[in-house]
Amino acid sequence: MNEMRIPYHVGIIMDGNGRWATKRGKKRSAGHLEGSKTLEKLAIYANKRGVKILSVYAFSTDNFKRSSEEVNYLMDLFIMQFNNKMSKIDKEGIRVIFSGRRHPLREDVLEAMDKITEKTKNNKNGILNICLNYGGMEEIVDAAKKIAIDFADDVIKLDDIDKQSFNKYLYQNLPPVDLLIRTSGEYRISNFMPYQITYSEFYFTDVLFPDFNEKEFEKALESFNSRDRRFGNAK
């Protein structure tokens, strides 16, 4: 049997926390809490399976439209996770980085983000890229602005702007996403990493994110393995 090909960079749109809770007669926040436990286990499992980068959609720029109760719960949950619960991830040698705009995140959230970034900065086994207050079109616009500044300052020439150099102006200079997973039966990208998913394989599942365990992740890897990736080439 051929050896399994493991995607280098996996993205997950972690959807369905709210529905998971509502189905159980619980508040939506219970779904987010359960989702955060799933994420911790998954980050470690994916790394053990050889996935080097895991990018997850934790909070979109548009999620600020939710009730202040839900937004505040999520922000408090992030702080709790970054301050206390990510020690296992750190122990596995996984580096935590963030993608997104800092404004208008609360100061205490930014502090917790900076702390976990600093604590794990020398970890070499893999990367957990947490997209928080993230928007994909926003990322491209922000990159274009940074390039415009560098162009005006003579740091970059027009002819030097290409796909690779543009990538360096994104929030993080990461390789493309090989496999993109979305849970909970929705078939949308929702502004998640548009620059990085242009050649991704997509895996959609009805499973709600809190239930997306190691076994379900394995199914996504198997599906990825069955794909014939040609990157525009002929067969």
Residues with a catalytic annotation lie at 15, 63
Residue 170: closest CA among 194, 187, 154:
194
Question: 179-214 burial by CB neighbour count: b if 16+ within 10 A, else e?
Answer: bbbbbbeeeebebbbebbbeebbbbbbebbbbbbee
Number of residues that bind ligand FPP (CB under 6 A): 17
The verdict on 130 binding ligand FPP (CB under 6 A) reads: yes
CB of 128 to ligand FPP, least distance (A): 9
Using the rule CB under 6 A, is 39 a contact of ligand FPP? yes
Least Cα distance to 106 among 156, 141, 68 occurs for 68
Q: For residue 58, which phi and psi values (nearest 5 degrees)? A: -90, -35
The answer to whether residue 32 forms part of the interface with ligand FPP (CB under 6 A) is: yes
Of 55 and 156, nearer to ligand FPP (C-beta) is 55
- Of 144, 154, 110, 127, which Cα lies nearest the Cα of 56? 127
Return the residue of 10, 14, 109, 221 that touches ligand FPP, per CB under 6 A.
14
120 touches ligand FPP by CB under 6 A: no
Nearer to ligand FPP, 101 or 146 (CB): 101
Interacting residues with ligand FPP (CB under 6 A): 14-19, 32, 35-36, 39, 58, 63, 78, 81, 130, 184, 209
